[in-house]
Structure 1
Amino acid sequence: MENKMNQPIFNSGVHAFQGPHHTVEVPTSTLTMGVRTLPVKDHILWTIFNFVYGHFCCLVFLALIFSVKSGDRKVLRDIYGAENYSSTSKTLNIAATFSSSLVFVIILFAAGVISVRPR
């Protein structure tokens, strides 16, 4: 059984439009885009927040350096380098945020704002 999609519409041999039939080639253009990847986060806002509010040791300064390097690699379209620097920046930001939060809680305990004594 033949597929009906492959059969011509007019079987009688008479065309709907009489006269010479011309085929016109239409010029086409092809636009090739690069491989689409997920955008790499450089964590610059998180780093600036830690730099302003929780500057603990030199972790935030190092995170700032790696965030800027990640942004530079994104501009150069070096995805692998940007992801590497971004990952390092994220790890340093996590460590800095945790350390700053821990120091803040210890200061609250030392000041007597938070107490562990039962009432």
Structure 2
Amino acid sequence: MQSSYRPPENFPLQGGAGDRTVVVSVQQDPKDYIVWSLASVSYGNPFCLGLLAFYFSIKSRDRKMVGDLEGAKSYGSTACCFNVWALTLIIVIAIIIIVLIILAAKRII
């Protein structure tokens, strides 16, 4: 059985004033940071900031599905802010705990 598929042929653009470049701007979907929010909820979740980030990530995804890209961008930005604050607090708390463990270990020895 022979295939009737033929690959498309490429033709160079020929213009009167020379070669031209065509730029097509593609609008990107706004980010919803859902994976980062799930990680913030799972690992630490100080002051429920990870839960808030997860909530705004879901809202951003819902707005994107409806077609409201500006609303999705706004909710995604809010989720990103909550994720940054949650990550910062998790790191600071981890550093404090490590320092306290080291100080307690030195006192025992």
Q: Under a length normalisation based on structure 1, what TM-score does the superposition of the two structures give?
A: 0.63
Which is greater in Rg? 1
Question: Which structure: greater helix fraction?
Answer: 2
Is residue 89 of structure 2 the alignment partner of residue 102 of structure 1?
Answer: no
Amino acid at match of 1:40: P
Count of aligned pairs: 81
| Distance (whole Å) between structure 1 residues aligned to residue 44 and residue 91 of structure 2 | 8
**What stretches of structure 1 move > 3 A for 4+ residues in a row?**
none
Aligned to 1:40: 30
More deviation, 53-62/93-102:
53-62
Matched, 1:73 2:63: yes
Q: CA deviation at 1:66?
A: 0.3
Q: 5+ residue gaps in structure 2?
A: 1-15, 17-24, 104-109
What is the deviation of 1:36?
A: 4.5
Question: Structure 2 vs 1, CA of residues 60 and 70 (structure 1 numbering), >3 Å: closer, same or farther?
Answer: same
RMSD: 2.0
Where 1:57 maps in the other structure, the secondary structure is helix
TM-score, normalised to structure 2, is: 0.69
Unaligned runs of 5+ in 1: 6-34, 114-119
